[in-house]
Amino acid sequence: MNEFALNLDRYPAYVYDLPGLESHVRAICAALPGTEVYYAAKANPDPEILRTLAPHVDGVEVSSGGELAHVRETLPSMPVAFGGPGKTADELALSRTLKADRIHVESPNELARLGALGPADILLRANLPVHAPNAALTMGGPFGMDEDTLDHCARLLAGYPNLTLRGVHAHLASGLEAPVMLGLAHQIAEWAIPWLRSQGVDDPELNVGGGMAVDYTAPESRFDWQTYGAGLSRIPVKIRIEPGRAMTAYHGWYVTDVLDVKTTRGETYAILRGGTHHLRTPVTKGHDQPFKALTANGPERPVTLVGQLCTPKDVFARDVLVPSLAPGDVIAFTMAGAYAWNISHHDFLMHPKPAFHYRRWPDPAQSAARAPVPAP
Ligand SMILES: *Cc1c(COP(=O)(O)O)cnc(C)c1O
């Protein structure tokens, strides 16, 4: 066992390094003077994570009534922005009783339903024709509104004196590096600032979304928050961002042990306790999850790391080089702090749930954790 060999009692286990997360978020916010940072709760709404981020961020962005109630209960005095398409009547009503500080309005229908409920501060979500090279995911589809629909909302607002237009929200793409993200923010500002002023909004707010790049093939790399912060500070209105993945991905680990190793039809598999029903990230993103073999250190061999599920899709990393493994060896998957446990199909096959630990854990940037190396 090495420096990672903290006694976890049983596997699989999630380990969240809260002190590491706190330093990370502190550095992010320090690089963004004058920009408001809201954490996108959907990346990982674990209460301990929310409480760790809370002293450093300006607010939390939620995308459902469930998230709204959870964040209000966990962090009662934290400013909350409520977004997402398809808000139900109950969710809109909840947003009023729980006093969400900002509502991101997605359509004229939603505007009318919200307007009937009482006072609210709103941002209109825009779907602008921006250019974003190399985005992992562009948010085309049912998100936000075109310019003519935004004009229509502005006219409707005259009939809803309860609603106060505060600004524009635009989360247009994800997986972008800082220079491209900045280009997007400037394109949004170029359209939104004059438009908001023409609607009589004196002190406009621009929420330019989340989506900062997290590179699973380079666990030690980080989004360039310094460049992003410096560029955003040149936009002459209040800017708000809502990162999720780039905040919490790096400080979660899924640690588990090898149950069996076997070779069939020429391919060697290490079968691990647990599976992608606990850590769905590699399947949804189509990547090899970065990992570190904590106990094995023999010569490296090509292995496919799989879980216990009865489906060929239950793969963490395919045909990667790993020190030769035996039952009982321990593997720690890194970058499992965002869109990991909370997006996974926990109940499939009814295996036991992982344990959860909140403690210091070596940073992947300082440890030998590395991107999986494909077998030659
Ligand atoms: C998912 C989402 C985010 C966070 O995106 P990340 O890629 O996790 O940074 C922010 N805003 C909105 C509206 C979202 O849907």
Q: Which regions of the chain does DSSP assign to beta strands (E)?
A: 13-16, 35-40, 59-62, 80-82, 102-105, 120-125, 137-138, 163-169, 173-174, 205-207, 238-241, 252-264, 267-272, 291-293, 300-306, 315-323, 330-333, 355-358
Ligand 1 midpoint to CA 343 (Å): 14
**CATH 3.20.20.10 domain extents, the chain:** 31-243
> What is the pLDDT, as a whole number, of residue 371?
61
pLDDT less than 50: residues of the chain = 1-2, 365, 368
> What is the pLDDT, as a whole number, of residue 304?
98
Residue nearest to atom 13 of ligand 1 (CA): 171
Q: Is 171 in the pocket of ligand 1 (CB under 6 A)?
A: yes
Ligand 1 midpoint to CA 63 (Å): 9
> What is the pLDDT, as a whole number, of residue 359?
87
Domain 250-359 class in CATH: mainly beta
Token pair 């922005």 is at which residue?
Answer: 81
Position 300: which residue type?
Answer: E
Q: Is 144 in the pocket of ligand 1 (CB under 6 A)?
A: no
Ligand 1 midpoint to CA 14 (Å): 23
> What is the pLDDT, as a whole number, of residue 266?
95
Ligand 1 pocket test, candidate residues 174, 208, 215, 241, most atoms within 8 A of CB: 174
Atom of ligand 1 nearest to the CA of 212: 9
**CATH 2.40.37.10 domain extents, the chain:** 250-359
- Are the C-beta atoms of 188 and 182 separated by less than 8 Å? no
Ligand 1 midpoint to CA 171 (Å): 7
Taking phi first (over 0 means left), then psi (-120 to 50 degrees means alpha), and beta for anything else, what does residue 339 get? left
Atom of ligand 1 nearest to the CA of 244: 8
Q: Is 209 in the pocket of ligand 1 (CB under 6 A)?
A: yes
| Cα separations in angstroms, 272 against 177, 255, 311, 327 | 34, 10, 14, 9
> What is the pLDDT, as a whole number, of residue 1?
43
- Are the C-beta atoms of 24 and 267 separated by less than 8 Å? no
> What is the pLDDT, as a whole number, of residue 142?
87
For residue 291, the 8-state DSSP code is: E
CATH architecture of 31-243: Alpha-Beta Barrel (3.20)
Q: Is 61 in the pocket of ligand 1 (CB under 6 A)?
A: yes
> What is the pLDDT, as a whole number, of residue 3?
53
Active site residue 153: no
